Chain A
Amino acid sequence: MMRATLIHGAIGGTLLGVVTHLFVQSTSIDPEAHVRVLEVIDSLSQAETDLRRNLLLVRSDLLLHYDSVNGALGALRERLDDLRAVASAAAALESDEVSGRFALLEAGVAEDEEAVEQFKWHNALLRNSWSYFAQKSRGVSELGPMPVATGDGLFHALDRLLPAMMLVQHQPRSETIGLAALELDRLESLNPPRPLRPHIDSMVKHGRLILRLSPALDATLKALLTSRTAATVNSLRSAYLDDHRRSVNRAERHRVLLYAASLLLLVYLAVLFIRLQSGASALALSNAGLKREMAERRQAEDKARALQAELTHAHRLSLMGEMASGLAHELNQPLTAIRLYARGCVRRLKSGEGRPEEILDAMNRLSAQVLRAGAILGWIRGFVKKRQGQTSSLDINALVRETVELLGYERRNLDFNIELALADALPRIEADRIEIQQIILNLTRNSIEAMSEGGPEQPRIAIRTQAGAAGLVELVVEDSGHGMAPDILARAFDSFFTTKPQGMGLGLAISRSLVEAQGGRLWATSEEGKGTTVHFTLPVAGEEQHDSTERSALVVEFGGGRSAAVDPDGNSLEPDRRVHGDGLRR
């Protein structure tokens, strides 16, 4: 059961985990973030194009300042920052492919920036030198007429130099530069007259700088125009798009898997549900079986109880049979008294001497004896009747005394007394009156019999009542009879085990089962040759109610005028009183 729960828990948990994982994996990249990334990449590409356009404008002198170049470069840097921010929000730079391109792009932009600085610097120098070169050539012309000899040569040299320089500006290649350098050398070697000298020197200085810087500047420009930045932006874009497509595909696949896993979970739940249903019907079936079984068991129990009642009844009948002669003697006493009273009355009526008061008195005594005989007969009838057990609250001491009364005849045949040692202030017990009497009678009779077979020197039977363990009252029947050997004691409570020739072997077994049915315990100790002691306990009544009606009735029945000897609680007034035939019988 536990294991099945664990297994189902594990399967369900795993399926749920898988579904959750798939759900997380199937969430596609936020489309807005995707669009933003693409936008930033586009604007990056735009800024890059802007930069190149502005560089060309500057180089071709269509743009005479560098603010726009700086602006484009700044924009390029800002777009890089934007891309970093947007990409980290969209988790777009995570793949090695894309982040590698991005790093490449950053490095490329940094390189470009250095090249742009170089470009601006050299371009400014070059422009400066061109201006100065032009200024100086004008300066030479402004100085006016020259000495013919030098002037001619000078103008001739300038004539050749200026187109050469023009060619350099147009095509800054090694041939044109070499040509212009030659012309510069020639101009320098002319040794111009004094007023022209500084101008010519300046022209040569700046001309040489132009020749040196032009190819360098154009190399820088060319490098910038063919910079890998543009290509890197494009490859970054395609790498990002590839990456995005992959993650979209992945999300798509995971969505399909999510669907499958959800179906699986659903099927699993359906299976569980069906199993639960069949489990419930199986439970209903077994429940019905259980009910049937319980009914059968109850029936069997009823049967056993009925059998027990039968046995108990049979035992009472047999007890009654054994007590029959004693009871007959007991009954004989009131009958004899009735006969005597009746005869006396007749005689006095016949003689006519009898006064009506005397006759009335005799008649009253007579009817008292009738009542007494009726009470004995009533008890016998009650004792032998088939009955359902019914408990009531009882005074154990009164019950003991009453029961011992019933053994009056047998007692009188004994040459010893039954000692009663009844404890004071015992709580009332909750038990079936007839059954308790049955037990006491059984035990007492057993003791009497144990004494009759070659009785001991000092025959003795004692019945004691005492408080037992918590909530119990204990009753002990003790004799000094022949006792039992341990092996016999061990079997003494078995049904149909008896050592008596006429015994049924039921007495002790029934007594024990009756005591146990009332919630008590019955046990015996015995020593061979010395005697046997039987104990039994009975539970104290839950609520100590006075069972006065029942008790007083019995006292009337058996006690007659003895009612004074018993206090209202039924406790004996003489704890260790030997019960003899009381005043009623004398």
Chain B
Amino acid sequence: MERSKSGRTLTLCLAVVGHCLLTACAAVAADRPPAFPETPADGPIVPLPLALAFDPDRAALGERLFHDRRLSHDSTLACVSCHNLAEGGDDGLPLPGRSDARRGEVNTPTIFNSVLSFRLGWRGTYRRLADQVDADIQDPRLMNTSWDEVLGKLRADSGYAAAFARTYGDGVTRQNVLDALSAFHRSLITPNSRFDQYLRGREDALSETEKRGYRLFVSLGCVSCHQGRNIGGNLFQKVGVFADYFGSRGNIREIDFGRFLDTGAQHDLFVFRVPSLRNVAVTAPYFHDGSVAQLDDAVRKMGEIQLGEGLTDEEVGLIVQFLHSLTGEFNGRPIMSE
């Protein structure tokens, strides 16, 4: 077993490094394709499932709750206020909130496809949607309310009382509200992006430049972190592997400490959950601090801090082209930008 494993590893290493050697040592300036899996479907990126299974009654109830402003203390905010399903599933703001007084600390991530991420939130604090909702309901900068207040308001609505009784039997409870929202959450995926169509075998779904952008995305190593069905969203990574992002940005706040805030472990300082790149072209601004408005600037920044080198404008352009092909469809229509 041990031998066969190392044997396989050896073969693989030989293949990869041998490839490099060949290209390097031969010194032939050829347009050889870079290390790239033969079939896209076996590659690091997996197409989104076209649908996830969910209970339609519960999801319908969840959708009503999602749009209901009574989930906030002064009945001004609903989930949809920040997660605009018509426009990218986020709020299009650097930081959430309509006034400086109650501005959120981190950029609103899109809610689309987040059900497929291994954890929720910029630093991956929550394993389940229910935990995140629990926190947001009580966050003074967000819903600023309590379950008692929310459930009281919902129970006063005979329509809700009847719908919950029909769907759950035991009426409006915290458990059931969370379950309905979770069911609806499962419906918020954006399959069928052009890139997914390409992965599923439609060669002409991508233009040549987009394909070149994808190859670059792979060969530069971006795909090391941005992989899987959500093209990210499934591991932690340090922000600023080769350059100090926060030092150069300045004004370091507690929220920049990342996962360190949850674990207290030194190695988790500035570690964040790698965000999904699904619909990235329509979910500006970028990064947890919402500090970058343009996608090409974001790509450039990532190259600088995670690769340790400035990318050329051509490379950035190619990658941005590729990233545009990651915009999927919600309810059969392509996601639109704000």
Contact = CB atoms under 8 A, between A and B. Distances in A.
A418 interface: no
Contact of A170 (B9, B21, B222, B267): B9
A64 B37 contact: yes
A289 to B, nearest CB: 75
B156 interface: no
B17 A206 contact: no
Contacts of A542: none
A205 B309 CA distance: 10
B88 to A, nearest CB: 23
Contacts of A206: 308
Contact of A64 (B28, B34, B222, B223): B223
A65 B236 CA distance: 13
B234 A65 contact: yes
B24 A137 contact: yes
Contacts of B238: 121
Given A60-B5, A125-B241, A127-B221, A166 B14 contact: yes
Best-surrounded residue of B17, B219, B227 (most CB of chain A within 10 A): B17
Interface string A163-179: 10110011000000000
B25 A159 contact: yes
Contacts, number: 140
B242 A65 contact: no
Nearest to B309: A202
Contacts of A67: 46, 228-229, 234
Interface stretch (A138-146, A380-388, A505-513): A138-146
Contact of B17 (A132, A155, A165): A165
Contacts of A166: 13-14, 17-18, 21
Interface in A52-86: 56, 59-62, 64-67, 70, 74
B17 A169 contact: yes
A193 to B, nearest CB: 15
Contacts of A205: 242, 308
Contacts of B18: 166
Report the interface size class on chain A: 35 or more
Given A61-B16, A64-B44, A141 B235 contact: no
The number of chain B residues touching the other chain, given as a range, is: 35 or more
A138 B23 contact: yes
A379 interface: no
Nearest to B10: A170
Interface string A441-473: 000000000000000000000000000000000
A132 B220 contact: yes
B239 to A, nearest CB: 12
Majority SS of interface residues in chain A?
helix
Contacts of B13: 166, 169-170
A130 interface: yes
B20 A134 contact: yes
A101 interface: no
A195 to B, nearest CB: 13
A139 to B, nearest CB: 9
A61 B309 CA distance: 25
Nearest to B21: A162
A336 B220 CA distance: 176
A29 to B, nearest CB: 30
Quick one: which of A67, A142, A165, A169 has the most chain B CB within 10 A? A67
Contact of B220 (A64, A118, A124, A135): A135
Contacts of A169: 13, 16-17
Nearest to B219: A135
B9 A60 contact: yes
B45 interface: yes
Interface in A89-138: 117-118, 120-121, 123-125, 127-135, 137-138
B224 A202 contact: no
A66 B227 contact: yes
B103 interface: no
Most buried by B among A61, A123, A155, A198: A61
B189 to A, nearest CB: 14
A135 B8 contact: no
Query: Which residue, A61, A65, A133, A155, has most C-beta atoms of chain B within 10 A?
Result: A65
A158 interface: yes
Nearest to A61: B12
Given A166-B13, A205-B308, A158 B224 contact: no
Contacts of A155: 25, 27
A129 B242 CA distance: 11
A128 B307 CA distance: 8
Contacts of A131: 35, 218-221, 223-224
B43 interface: yes
Contacts of A170: 9-10, 13-14
A66 B228 contact: yes
Nearest to A133: B20
Contacts of A125: 224, 237, 241
Given A170-B10, A206-B308, A137 B225 contact: no
Nearest to B17: A166
A66 B124 CA distance: 15
A115 to B, nearest CB: 12
A202 B20 contact: no
Interface in B6-57: 8-10, 12-14, 16-21, 23-29, 34-35, 37, 42-46
B193 interface: no
A437 B237 CA distance: 136
Interface in B32-85: 34-35, 37, 42-46
Contacts of A66: 118, 227-228, 234-235
B219 A162 contact: no
A546 B227 CA distance: 130
A134 B19 contact: yes
A130 B46 CA distance: 22
B143 interface: no
A527 to B, nearest CB: 102
B16 A162 contact: no
A221 B291 CA distance: 36
A135 B179 CA distance: 47
Contacts of A60: 5, 8-9, 12
B168 to A, nearest CB: 20
B271 interface: yes
Nearest 9 A-B pairs (CB), nearest first? A128-B221, A64-B44, A131-B221, A128-B224, A65-B228, A120-B235, A65-B227, A166-B17, A127-B224
Given A131-B224, A135-B221, 17 more contacts: A59-B9, A64-B43, A65-B234, A70-B234, A128-B222, A128-B224, A131-B219, A132-B220, A133-B20, A134-B16, A134-B17, A135-B34, A138-B24, A165-B17, A166-B17, A169-B16, A170-B9
9 contacts: A60-B5, A60-B8, A61-B12, A125-B237, A132-B220, A137-B24, A140-B24, A170-B13, A205-B308
